[in-house]
Amino acid sequence: MNRTDRLTRLRDLLSSPDVQTRLQAAMAAGTRPAVDQVEVLVARCAVEPDFFVRDTLTWALTRHEQPLIMELLLDELASPVPQARSQALHTLSKFGDARAWPAITADLLRDPDDEVARAAWRTAAGLVPDDSRAELAEELASQFNRGGRDVQLSLSRAMAVLGEAALPVVQRAQTAKDPGVSAHAVATERLMQDPEEGFDAAIAEAERVVALRGAPG
């Protein structure tokens, strides 16, 4: 089978309505890496509806030569398709290549799509240079009280990864006038101090603390 036919077959398999066919095609692409199939895999990441297939596509990409993939993934960060941006960030987090750090902009950290923002927080926290940790924490603090439970947990985890550099920022956010911001910051510090504490328990206790703080004396 020549190159054109092979890539056409891969596209067809990855576009199959059957999820198992797509999963097997992604696994095969990772088992037998070939540089000419990278563009097909990256393009499929942007539109694949199944979580497990997307995760397998990411695994398959990590099995290929990194330089070419990095260039393609960084280009995807500017895509108008939210899933393309979020999946590219997810894949970059798996590589852990510091060259991706400058590409994680404030726009991505504040992306209106929750999944993109969550992926950006996680990837940025893992790639940030030591001397930029406090600056990143300041940017992440602007997202306190964003979204529902899972979004807020993602932000708290990113702050926890930043560690001591983020602590002053988290503590300052606890004095915010917005009780939601304050409670989320309190819960985040609790998780930073005790990673074993569940987020639901931490946020419930934080809301109680903030409510008591605001109650008349």
Task: Report the pLDDT value the prediction gives residue 207, as an integer from 0 to 100.
Answer: 85
**pTM of the predicted protein model:** 0.91
CA 169 to CA 156: how far, in whole Å? 12
Residue 51 lies in a domain: no
Q: Which pair of structure tokens corresponds to residue 132? A: 């930029």
Residue 189 lies in a domain: yes
CA neighbor of 121 nearest in space, from 159, 79, 148, 168: 159
21, containing H or E segment: helix 19-31
CA 109 to CA 180: how far, in whole Å? 19
Task: Report the pLDDT value the prediction gives residue 198, as an integer from 0 to 100.
Answer: 86
Q: Which pair of structure tokens corresponds to residue 117? A: 């923002």
Residue 191 lies in a domain: yes
Residue 86 lies in a domain: no
22, containing H or E segment: helix 19-31
Per-residue pLDDT of the chain (217 residues), as tens digits, is 678 888 999 999 999 999 999 999 999 999 999 989 999 999 999 999 999 999 999 999 999 877 888 999 999 999 999 999 999 999 999 988 888 999 999 999 999 999 999 999 999 999 999 999 999 999 999 999 999 999 999 999 999 999 999 999 999 999 999 999 999 999 999 999 988 888 888 888 888 888 887 655 5
CA 2 to CA 89: how far, in whole Å? 32
CA angle 94, 117, 70 (to 5 degrees): 35
Determine contact, residues 113/82, Cβ cutoff 8 Å. Answer: yes
Q: Which domain holds residue 190?
A: 128-217
CA 89 to chain centre: 6
Residue 167 lies in a domain: yes
Task: Report the pLDDT value the prediction gives residue 209, as an integer from 0 to 100.
Answer: 82
Q: Please provide residue 47's backbone torsions phi and psi, each rounded to the nearest 5 degrees.
A: -125, -10
Residue 75 lies in a domain: no
Determine contact, residues 65/30, Cβ cutoff 8 Å. Answer: no
Residue 207 lies in a domain: yes
Residue 57 lies in a domain: no
Please tell me whether residue 59 adopts helix, strand or coil conformation: helix
How many domains in the chain? 1
CA 25 to CA 109: how far, in whole Å? 32
Task: Report the pLDDT value the prediction gives residue 204, as an integer from 0 to 100.
Answer: 86
Task: Report the pLDDT value the prediction gives residue 214, as an integer from 0 to 100.
Answer: 62
CA neighbor of 87 nearest in space, from 35, 37, 63, 122: 122
